Every structure is written in C-alpha cells, then in structure tokens.
Amino acid sequence: MRKLCFILGLVLCMTLPFYAIAQDNDGKKEKKKKERKAVNPNFKHKFTTFLLEARADFEYDYNLNQWNNIDPFGINFSGSATQQNYGFRGDYFNFLLGGDIGDHISYFLRQRIIPVKGFTEFFDNTDFLYIQYKFNNQWSLRMGKEAIYVGGFEYDAPPIDVYYFTNYWGSFPCFLLGVSAAYTDKSGKNKIVLNVANSPYVYYLDNRWNSGLLSYNLYWSGNFGPFHTLYSVNFFEYQRGKFINLIALGNQLKFDKWSIYVDWANRAAGFKNFFKDFSLVSRLDWHVSPSVNLFAKGGYEQNSAGYYYYPYSGVNPDDNYSSGYDVDMLMPNNRAHCFYGLGVEYRPRIYPDLRVHAYVANSTMTLPSDLAADYSWKDMTLTANVGVTWKLDFMKFLPEKLK
C-alpha cells in the first residue's frame, strides 16, 4: 500500500508542472485575445462564400461547311466538307471564396483551377479578385479584378450556367483589373455603376497587358417587381485614343414558374454604320417543378460594318504584318451568326447543388445577306450535349467553423 501511494504521489508531482504550464499558456492566449479585441473591438470576419464547383459534359458535334463562288469569268467553284467530333470533357473547375471584414469591407475570389488555353499572364485564370469598401447603404467603392460592367442577362450569368451562346459572349475577355464606384438608391430598385478598367483589347493581338488601353463603362441595374433591366454604355479603347462603343440593353420578365430575357447589344466605331454590327439573344425558362426546368434559347448577330484598323502603321502594305484587324473583336467582319436550341435541367430535391442538363442546339455562321451576292458560304454545327454540374458548398457543411 505504501508503494502504491508513493507511485501515485510521484506521478502527481511529475504531471503538476505540465498542467501548470498548460494553464499558463491558456491564460496567455486569452490575454492575447482580449488585447486584440481592445485594439480593434469592431473587427469581425464572416465568410459569405466558400465553395468548389465543377462541370463535365459529353458532347457530340456535327459540322457542315459549304461554299459556292462565282468568279468574274462565270466559273462556279463549290464544295462541302463535314466533320464529327465527340467525347467527354471537363468545362469548369472553380474555387470561390468571399467574406465580410467588419461592417464596411468585403472581398471575393473566383479562381479557375483548370487553366484557360492560350493565356499565360498573371491573373489570367482569376475571374474575380477584388476588395470592396461600403461607405453606407448607398455608396461603395470596389478595386481589383472583376467582369467589366456590361448590360445583358446572357453576359451577367456565371459561365458555368451558360451552355451555348452568342459569338459575342464567347469572344469577350471580360475579366479585367479596374476600379468602380456604385450607387444604390434608398428603395434598392436602382443601382448605377461607373467603372474604369483595362480594355478588352489588351488581349486582342498578343496579350499586351502594358499597352495602355482602357475602357469606360456606365451601368444601370433596375428591379421593378417582375421586370428587371441590365443596361450599359461602354467605350473600349482599341488603339490609343480610339474607341468602339457598345450599347447593351438587357430586359427580363421573371415570375415564379417562368422567366424570359431579351438582350440587344449594338457595337459601333462611328455613326456611319451604326446599326450594322449587333447581337440579339433571348432565353425562355419554364420551371415545371422545383426539380425540373425547361429552356429555349436563340439569337442572331451580324457584323457588316467593315471597320478595320492597322496597328502597324508605316509598314510596307505588302508586308503580312500590315494586315488590318477587326475593330469589333466580339463579332468578325462580314459574318452573320444564327443559333437556337432546346434543353432541360434537373436538380434532385434531396441535393439541389447537383444539376444534370441536356440540350440540342444548332449554330450557323454565314455571310450577311447584303454581302452574299455572288458568293455564299455556310458553316453549320449541330450540337448534342449532356452534362453534370456539382457544387460543394462548405458553408452548408461547416457553418460553425466558418462563423
């Protein structure tokens, strides 16, 4: 019995110092917390977004290319070519993170984990990386990388939710560094944003980040019950001191069971051919049930303005480097594009962050009707696509840890 008491006493003597050290460390941690709170008692952080999202598709494309040409001597050259492509592919894999720091500062990041082919510049695969300061409920200032403020609901939708699209949407390098100031009226129905950012044309020729080209953008978002607007007037610098103007008018009607939007975007480098370069697109959604959505989408766009610019001025015209570039980078010169399609989306009730989609769409690129007198050309692609989109929202699984 004496030995047992001796052993227990020895163990107690050995553990007491470690216990005292642990208590002392805990006391120091609590003291540091109190000191931090004393330095900035208003500091608090809260995650607003913390998720991964990915989309993978199986796609089948049938492409038909036809041409017919009558030369000045009356000789007819014609032909056609077909091509079939299909397979599985991963379209998007994104990491999204956002949060509030105190009552006035917030931040947001959307990083594409799968890189975009062809771009190697810093931040190229970062869609959003900005910090925002909110002065009050009406005024805010935002700095960093985000989408240039352009109107239209096709443009406004997250890329992972856009299945088939206008040439205008698919050609727009819209995520650029800049600064914006926003005003929201007291009713919350109107938001006006003034945005100055790099011009999309810093990407047009050779990824020229230091070309000194800027864009100036005025944007209005309206919310009037079922009617919503996304309008903008934009000026993109394509050469130093020379601009192409974009006027985008997005209109949407939205109800419980269905919604429809109609977007019009007009592009011009002058008043001479003001209505010859434009895009028109519409989408109708019918929510059959909480799990099933049917949609139809189509559009028409053309560019017959004939605007070119020559960045290598002073070079011999016979030199290949002196060839002109389309002033409108969003729709090629002397082209007309028509597309339409039908699709369905399904979200299981037990896990709505999983989405299965399927659609069939047809896209045809031709010459505009006023330029196809003796020469016709058609590039048509019929697409069938089935895919899965999955979002892992950590805010739902780790709510206590993220507060």
Q: Is a pLDDT exceeding 60 seen at residue 119?
A: no
Q: What percent of the chain has pLDDT over 70?
A: 77
Across residues 265-283, what is the average pLDDT?
92
Residue 5 pLDDT exceeds 90: no
Q: Is 348 helix (H, G, I), strand (E, B) or coil?
A: coil
Here the tokens at position 147 are 């989408």
Both tokens assigned to 330: 């969003």
pTM: 0.84
- Res 236: pLDDT: 96
Q: Give the torsion sign (CA, 181, 152, 145, 206).
A: negative
**Alpha carbon separation from 77 to 320, 366, 373, 377 (Å, rounded):** 27, 17, 15, 11
Check residues 113 and 161 and name the one with the higher pLDDT.
161
Distance CA 313, CA 213 (A): 18
Look at residues 232, 167, 178, 220 and name the one whose alpha carbon lies nearest to residue 200: 178
Please give the Cα distance from 128 to 80 (Å, whole number): 43
Domains and CATH numbers, the chain: 58-84+117-387 (2.40.160)
- Three-state DSSP class for residue 271: coil
Distance CA 119, CA 175 (A): 13
At 121 the pLDDT is 62
Asked whether the predicted pLDDT for residue 319 surpasses 50, the reply is: no
Six-digit token pair at 25? 């460390």
d(CA 356, CA 353): 10
User: In terms of Cα–Cα distance, which of 264, 288, 260 is closest to 278?
Assistant: 264
SS3 state at 402: helix
pLDDT surpassing 80 at residue 25? no
End-to-end distance of the chain based on CA atoms, in angstroms?
A: 53
Tens digits of residue pLDDT in 11-21:
445 554 545 55
